[in-house]
């Protein structure tokens, strides 16, 4: 499975993703500069965390209109999958590839901590190695991760099972106390209607080796590889 890790000016998790893909799951991977429009040789594009373009104007706003992001709808239509973590999630929302928006944490603090995530949809290419109700542990690191969507959008998200992860307790209870940033309905990660674009605030690449304090993030990578092996459904290229 060929991965491309997008690098914007100000991206900071690109090396972590590259390392996990090349050294932990041992798949072909290359960096993709933000001006690139040709993604034809890739199966999965990763938008890593960081502060693309300094997050000027709004987090992910400028990156959301960059050449590589403008090429994503065609890439996805052609069978590619896109994983956006942290700033990558903000960029996907700003670009309109995912519904809703991310705004300043309700607590006003930058939150860098471990979180528990309740798996709600295990039928996406990113989560099929998991089961619904399972609880994963992954770190977050952001100041603007409060997910917002209007009631109509939330209804659509529910109807299409687009909410993939919610912030929860270690026992899997979705509570206000377990919500680190004030996200509506504790939403931590969503997919598009087809399930081929995932955005999440937590960092799976920072929970991919036991030396990092956990390996739950690897499940997302393993799910992607499993999807490829089992049916290749999302890989038409």
Tell me the closest approach of the beta carbon of residue 44 to other proteins, in angstroms: 27
Q: Is 108 in the site for other proteins (CB under 8 A)?
A: yes
- Choose the binding region for other proteins from 15-23, 40-48, 59-67, 210-218 (rule: CB under 8 A): 59-67
Number of residues that bind other proteins (CB under 8 A): 19
**Choice from 57, 77, 170, 171 touching other proteins (CB under 8 A):** 57
Pairwise CA distance, residues 188 & 117, whole Å:
8
| Of the candidates 102, 85, 116, the residue with the CA atom closest to the CA atom of residue 147 | 102
Q: Is the dihedral of CA 225, 12, 37, 28 positive or negative?
A: negative
What CA–CA distance (Å, rounded) separates 85 from 202?
6
**Residue 134 C-beta-side C-alpha neighbours within 13 Å:** 17
Q: Mask of contacts with other proteins, 11-50, x by CB under 8 A? A: ----------------------------------------
**Interacting span for other proteins (CB under 8 A) from 6-14, 30-38, 39-47, 97-105:** 97-105
193 an active-site residue?
no
Interface with other proteins includes 149 (CB under 8 A)? yes
Is position 106 an interface residue for other proteins (rule: CB under 8 A)?
yes
Measured distance between the N- and C-terminal CA atoms of the chain, rounded to whole angstroms = 11
The Cα 90–Cα 87 span in angstroms is 5
Which one-letter DSSP state was computed for residue 57?
A: S
Q: Binding marks (x or -) toward other proteins, 159..188, rule CB under 8 A?
A: -----------------------x------
- Could you tell me which of 31, 211, 227 has the C-alpha nearest to residue 126? 227
Distance CA 103, CA 93 (A): 11
Nearer to other proteins among residue 148 and residue 222 (C-beta):
148
Residue ranges binding other proteins (CB under 8 A): 57-58, 61-62, 65, 93-94, 100-101, 103-108, 148-150, 182
- Residues recognised as catalytic: 86, 203, 205
């Amino acid at each position: 499975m060929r991965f491309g890790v997008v690098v914007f000016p100000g991206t900071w998790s690109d090396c972590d993703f590259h390392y996990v893909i090349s050294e932990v799951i041992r798949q072909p991977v290359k960096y993709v500069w933000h001006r690139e429009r040709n993604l034809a040789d890739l199966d999965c594009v990763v938008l890593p965390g960081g502060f693309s373009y300094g997050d000027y104007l709004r987090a992910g706003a400028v990156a959301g209109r960059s050449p590589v992001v403008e090429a994503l709808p065609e890439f996805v239509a052609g069978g590619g999958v896109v994983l956006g973590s942290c700033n990558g999630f903000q960029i996907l929302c700003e670009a309109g590839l995912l519904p809703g928006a991310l705004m300043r944490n309700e607590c006003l603090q930058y939150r860098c901590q471990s979180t528990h995530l309740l798996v709600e949809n295990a039928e996406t290419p990113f989560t099929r190695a998991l089961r619904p109700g399972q609880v994963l542990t992954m770190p977050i690191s952001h100041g603007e991760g409060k997910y917002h969507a209007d009631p109509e959008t939330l209804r659509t998200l529910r109807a299409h099972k687009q909410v993939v992860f919610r912030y929860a307790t270690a026992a899997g209870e979705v509570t206000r106390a377990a919500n680190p940033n004030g996200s509506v309905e504790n939403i931590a990660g969503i997919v598009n209607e087809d399930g081929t674009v995932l955005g999440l605030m937590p960092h799976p690449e920072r929970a991919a080796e036991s030396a990092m304090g956990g390996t739950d993030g690897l499940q997302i990578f393993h799910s992607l590889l499993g999807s490829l092996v089992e049916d290749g459904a999302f890989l038409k290229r």
